[in-house]
Amino acid sequence: MHSLRASSTREAKDKRLKTYVLYEGLHRWIAFGRDPEKPERIIDTNQYLIRDGDRSLILDPGGIETFSSVLGAVICHARIDQITDLFFSHQDPDVASSLGMWDEALPTARLHAPWLWEGFLRHFGCNNLTYVPIPDEGGTIALPHVKLQLVPAHYLHSSGNIHVYDPVAKILFSGDVGAALEAPDAPMFVDDFSAHVPKMTLFHQRWMPSNRAKNDWIARVRKLDVEMMVPQHGRIFRGDDVKKFLDWFEALEVGIAVRHPGSSVLASKPAAA
Amino acid sequence: MPEQPFFVSVATVAAGLGRVRRIASELSLAAVNAKVISVRAGTQAAGFRPITDFIDEAARATEKLGNALEAGTLAVSRSAVSERRAADALRRLRRAAAGASRDETSLEAVIDRCDAARTAISKSMTRSIRTLDGLLDQISAHMMCISVITVQSRIEARQAGTYRPNLEAIAASMSSAAEQVTAIVQQSRLDLRDALAARVEHARSKG
Ligand SMILES: [Fe+2]
Ligand SMILES: [Fe+2]
């Protein structure tokens, strides 16, 4: 028998992002998260891939530090020439600082992002990609089997912020809304909503600036048929937990730094969103 | 259109080699089935039974090699991204230095440090690629061993009476696994070689 010299201290599968198929029909939703190679003190992010025929769209591809992990994971599901579109919900570094690398990797792809941030996002390097500015009122992205709806979510938390709703899979990608701060190896799905609330409270109170914007968004989302709400951080909400989230968010007062400057909440300084 | 960056090529190779792990688990299943059937077949599979240990060992070894291969390519892929970022930083620093006044020399130390960091990344990547090459050799040799076991299994299966179809099916699944892994490894070798050649060519054209 051939002798085996190869050894690895950790299994290769433990070095990849965890992968979850969220929807499988004529198109597919795949979630990636819990990067085991993520440097410490960087907020963990979830990335989503919508795979549809010869088109693939990555939602909030993430920061430069997790770029290798995201590319390595995504490319197991779509060839590089099949990744045709990127979407940025807003301009934050944990969403967009990998832009310069994607710009080299996908020179012919389109980048869908709020119009407001074009001049700012281009600072990350955007020489090859085509920037498709999303107007304030939203719009659509037509893939072969689904017309994705771009839902305005301004001031949640960014002043130019867009979410993505898939009316076929009934999935809402909610960016930083629904985010939770928790351990890097936390489960991917909410299984106990009440237990999950403390992990979300400070995040929403402090990062979300406007109660008016919040309520406006809730009214818009309540009109949608959402079976799964998938945020950029933390866990995915399914079924009834989506409704529970909207009710909880509605009752929560946000923008607390204005009302309580210097409070102990501000002193706790969690990793940035 | 710009050529495909090296870090994309290596990530593609890593994705391909990631499939070896899935095939290795099929092999493990074949190993378990082989053991179960040879016990059930009793004396009818007397010749087959000793082979089941080899099948088992082959499955484990393939899994381990597959893991090492995938981890190795992922490491190269990460280094390739780091190298790209370091090269980018260096290029920008040099541009800044070129625009600075003649008396301004403090940037030189920064540039030297960045250059050293980039060289270190490149060297470590070259070492990782060499390790990867070795692993690809190992898995190729290993697949040839599995082919030998498959031939042996087919011969013994013929003597196994009523259990012949079951044992032949196991031999067939092993053979298919070995063929698939060999094809992936061959393709990965070619892709890696092309990527390395393009990288050298790119470096040369940039002077
Ligand atoms: Fe954000
Ligand atoms: Fe975020």
With CA atoms as reference, report the closest residue to B78 among B3, B4, B19, B14: B14
Distance from CA of A266 to the nearest CA of B (A): 34
* CA–CA distance, B36 with B38 (Å, rounded to integer): 6
- In chain A, which residue ranges form alpha helices assigned H by DSSP? 67-74, 93-96, 99-105, 118-121, 193-207, 211-222, 240-251, 256-259, 264-267
Per-residue pLDDT of chain B (207 residues; tens, 9 = 90+): 457 999 999 999 999 998 888 888 888 888 888 888 888 888 888 888 888 888 888 888 888 998 899 889 989 999 999 999 999 999 999 998 888 777 777 889 999 999 999 999 999 999 999 999 999 999 999 899 888 888 888 888 888 888 888 888 988 988 999 999 999 999 999 999 999 999 888 888 875
State whether the Cα torsion A235-A240-A243-A249 is positive or negative.
Answer: negative
Contact between chains at A4 and B61 (C-beta distance less than 8 A): yes
A157 preceded by cis ω (within 30°)?
Answer: yes
Taking residues A181-205, what's their average pLDDT? 95
Chain A residues lying within 8 Å of B77, measured CB to CB:
68, 71-72
Taking residues A98-115, what's their average pLDDT? 97
Provide residues of B within 8 Å CB-CB of chain A: 1-2, 4-5, 7-8, 11-12, 14-15, 18, 21, 54, 57-58, 61, 64-72, 74, 77-78, 81, 84-85, 88, 135, 138, 141-142, 145
Q: Are strands A171-173 and A237-238 parallel, antiparallel or unpaired?
A: unpaired
* Secondary structure (DSSP) of A164-229: EEETTTTEEE-TTTT-----TT--SB-S-HHHHHHHHHHHHHHH---HHHHHHHHHHHHTS--SEE
* CA–CA distance, A161 with A121 (Å, rounded to integer): 13
Distance A57 CA to ligand 2 centre (A): 18
Chain A residues lying within 8 Å of B152, measured CB to CB:
none
Give B186's contacts (C-beta < 8 A, 6+ positions apart). Answer: none
Distance from CA of B66 to the nearest CA of A (A): 8
pLDDT tens for A108-117 read: 999 999 999 9
- Cα angle for residues A166, A170, A174 (degrees, 5° grid): 65
Chain B residues lying within 8 Å of A8, measured CB to CB:
64, 67-68, 71-72
Contact between chains at A7 and B68 (C-beta distance less than 8 A): yes
Domain ranges of chain B: 3-206
Contact between chains at A76 and B81 (C-beta distance less than 8 A): no
Stretch (H or E) spanning A86: strand A85-87
Query: Is CATH 3.30.565.10 correct for A2-258?
Result: no
For chain A, percent of residues with pLDDT exceeding 90? 83
Give A62's contacts (C-beta < 8 A, 6+ positions apart). Answer: A45, A47, A70, A94, A95, A98
Q: Phi and psi for A133 in degrees, rounded to 5?
A: -70, 130
Q: Which residue has the higher pLDDT, A199 or B104?
A: A199
Do B28 and B59 touch, CB atoms closer than 8 A? yes
Q: Phi and psi for A94 in degrees, rounded to 5?
A: -75, -10
Q: Does A81 touch chain B (CB under 8 A)?
A: no
Coil/strand/helix, residue A12: helix
Taking residues A237-242, what's their average pLDDT? 98
Residue A9's pLDDT band (cuts 50, 70, 90): very low
pLDDT tens for A115-141 read: 999 999 999 999 999 999 999 999 999
Give B188's contacts (C-beta < 8 A, 6+ positions apart). Answer: B13, B16, B17, B73, B136
pLDDT tens for A44-96 read: 999 999 999 999 999 999 999 999 999 999 999 999 999 999 999 999 999 99
Q: Does A127 touch chain B (CB under 8 A)?
A: no
Of B11, B65, B81, the CB nearest to A4: B65
The complex's ipTM?
A: 0.84
Domain ranges of chain A: 2-258
pLDDT of the residue at A262? 57
Residue A272's pLDDT band (cuts 50, 70, 90): low
* CA–CA distance, B86 with B80 (Å, rounded to integer): 10
Q: A173 forms bridges with which residues in the sheet?
A: A164, A230
The bound ligand whose nearest atom lies closest to the alpha carbon of A234 is 2
The bound ligand whose nearest atom lies closest to the alpha carbon of A92 is 1
Residue A258's pLDDT band (cuts 50, 70, 90): confident
Chain B residues lying within 8 Å of A126, measured CB to CB:
none
